[in-house]
């Protein structure tokens, strides 16, 4: 090997070693089972899973898997084409229509992932005459999408409406302005203040875009999302979201909004034009999921019952959580090594959890993040709470 090449590889190895030393290395956890409230890891352990985005419990469900098999049988395995050449089937159009109906929008465009939806939404719609005003903690895919666009960038302090107003004033001379926020922020379960954001947008003539990856399917009284939760359905200009979390858990994303917006994205959005169509199995299963969620709020209701129960009981045991109502429950342990030790002990006790520490969350804010699911039974949650109590007592973490 040439010196230059071997320097490249040894440099990579050094950087990888450094990540390990800093505790920032992300190993993959290998499951030998379906996704679900209970999973089996590749070492044969059965674990209660508290760290999936499987909010409605659909990822491993038989009827969802069956819907994907039915769609495969009808439409085949794949299209070997982007959408506009020969990769659009009736099932894709039906799903786009169903998403629009579910969200209360005019039209929807599908992507292979929400990462692509966010990556491809700004550049076709905004240029150097315009301004994008973005929450400081927005998802990486929004940040990347904004980078690909020539619009002026304004950032407001996370969830800070006074700072948002300041940024709207700073952007006053721009032609079009759009405020962009995650509907729900996944680290803290913080729900964006969409009522206030919409009011500010109206005052300053700005558009509003929300990323609903941690909201579509279960936020709001019929699960339509954060806009329903805050009573601003019909007042959001652009909604992006994923099919890979609550809405079935496979993969796929979408952008939804006014028909002019979606039509322009179909003409110009690069991840749509230059990447393969969503597999028919996923489109068909997602359609079946949306039909089910439109006809009953049972899963959404069970998720919120589980969330309320867990939030109440975990505090009663003596843990500190970030207050809120979202199924993301940050259990605060503050100290990074403690959070690591705690997650490892919970694993031994049969509970799968993820620990987060700096730089993923601010210094001194280390935590384990619990994510509730409609699939968790009361017995499973009781088992998890007992494990929390035991590990908390062993590590001296309980307030009571
Ligand atoms: C998960 C997530 C995404 C990416 O979704 P994919 O469909 O997995 O690409 C985008 N935005 C937010 C806020 C997310 O949580």
According to DSSP, the residues that pair with 332 across neighbouring strands are 320, 367
Give the model's pLDDT for residue 250: 98
Give the model's pLDDT for residue 22: 84
The whole-angstrom separation of Cα 328 and Cα 381 is: 14
Ligand 1 atom at shortest distance from the alpha carbon of 242: 7
Give the model's pLDDT for residue 366: 94
Give the model's pLDDT for residue 189: 96
214 is catalytic: yes
Q: Does any ligand 1 atom lie closer than 6 A to the CB of residue 139?
A: yes
Q: What count of residues does the chain have?
A: 400
According to DSSP, the residues that pair with 107 across neighbouring strands are 257
SS3 call for 239? strand
Give the model's pLDDT for residue 338: 93
Q: Does any ligand 1 atom lie closer than 6 A to the CB of residue 214?
A: yes
Q: Tokens for 393, please give them.
A: 């007592």
**Distance (Å) from CA 18 to ligand 1 centroid:** 28
Among 111, 145, 213, which is best to mutate for testing ligand 1, by the most ligand atoms less than 8 A from CB? 213
Give the model's pLDDT for residue 163: 98
The whole-angstrom separation of Cα 127 and Cα 141 is: 19
**Distance (Å) from CA 242 to ligand 1 centroid:** 6
Q: Is the dihedral of CA 42, 35, 119, 134 positive or negative?
A: negative
Q: Does any ligand 1 atom lie closer than 6 A to the CB of residue 114?
A: yes
Query: Using the 8-state DSSP alphabet, how is residue 81 labeled?
Result: S
Of 191, 383, 399, 190, the closest CA to residue 315 belongs to: 399
The whole-angstrom separation of Cα 22 and Cα 336 is: 11
Give the model's pLDDT for residue 262: 98
**Distance (Å) from CA 225 to ligand 1 centroid:** 15
Give the model's pLDDT for residue 25: 87
Q: CB of 110 within 8 A of CB of 283?
A: yes
Count of CB atoms situated within 10 Å of the CB of 140:
9
Q: Does any ligand 1 atom lie closer than 6 A to the CB of residue 242?
A: yes
The whole-angstrom separation of Cα 60 and Cα 66 is: 11
Q: Is the dihedral of CA 130, 115, 272, 105 positive or negative?
A: negative
Of 179, 191, 287, the closest CA to residue 231 belongs to: 191
Give the model's pLDDT for residue 358: 86
Q: CB of 24 within 8 A of CB of 16?
A: no
Among 219, 225, 245, which is best to mutate for testing ligand 1, by the most ligand atoms less than 8 A from CB? 245
The whole-angstrom separation of Cα 299 and Cα 306 is: 10
pTM of the entire predicted model: 0.97
186 is catalytic: yes
Count of CB atoms situated within 10 Å of the CB of 192:
25
Q: What parts of the chain have a pLDDT lower than 50? A: none
Residue tagged active-site, from 186, 275, 294, 354: 186
């Amino acid at each position: 090997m040439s010196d230059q090449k071997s320097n490249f590889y040894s440099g990579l190895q050094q950087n990888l070693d450094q990540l390990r030393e800093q505790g920032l290395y992300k190993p993959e956890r290998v499951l030998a089972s379906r996704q679900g409230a209970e999973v089996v890891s590749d070492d044969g352990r059965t674990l209660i899973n508290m760290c999936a985005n499987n909010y409605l419990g659909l990822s491993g469900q038989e009827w969802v898997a069956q819907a994907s098999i039915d769609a495969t049988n009808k439409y085949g395995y794949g299209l070997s084409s982007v959408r506009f050449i020969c990769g659009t089937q009736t099932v894709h159009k039906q799903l786009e229509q169903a998403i629009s109906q579910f969200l209360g929008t005019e039209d929807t465009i599908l992507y292979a992932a929400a990462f692509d939806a966010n990556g491809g939404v700004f550049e076709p719609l905004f240029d150097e005459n315009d301004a994008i005003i973005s929450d400081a903690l927005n998802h990486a895919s929004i940040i990347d999408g904004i980078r690909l666009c020539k619009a002026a960038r304004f950032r407001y302090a996370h969830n800070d409406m006074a700072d948002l107003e300041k940024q709207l004033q700073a952007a006053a001379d721009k032609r079009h302005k759009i405020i962009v926020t995650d509907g729900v922020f996944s680290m803290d379960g913080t729900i964006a203040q969409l009522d206030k954001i919409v009011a500010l947008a109206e005052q300053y003539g700005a558009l509003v875009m929300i990323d609903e990856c941690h909201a579509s399917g279960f936020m709001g009284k019929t699960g339509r999302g954060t806009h329903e939760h805050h009573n601003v359905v019909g007042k959001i200009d652009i909604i992006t979201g994923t099919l890979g979390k609550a809405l079935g858990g496979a993969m796929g994303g979408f952008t939804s909004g006014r028909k002019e917006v979606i039509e322009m994205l179909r003409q110009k959005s690069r991840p749509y034009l230059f990447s393969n169509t969503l597999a028919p199995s996923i489109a068909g299963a997602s359609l079946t999921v949306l039909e089910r969620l439109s006809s009953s709020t049972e899963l959404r209701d069970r998720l919120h019952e589980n969330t309320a129960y867990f939030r109440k009981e975990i505090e009663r045991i003596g843990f500190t959580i970030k207050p809120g109502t979202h199924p993301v429950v940050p259990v605060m342990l503050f100290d990074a090594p403690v959070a690591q030790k705690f997650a490892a002990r919970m694993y031994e006790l049969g509970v799968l959890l993820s620990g987060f520490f700096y730089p993923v969350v601010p210094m001194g804010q280390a935590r384990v993040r619990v994510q509730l699911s409609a699939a968790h039974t009361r017995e499973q949650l009781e088992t998890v709470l007992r494990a929390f109590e035991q590990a908390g007592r062993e590590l001296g973490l309980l307030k009571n």
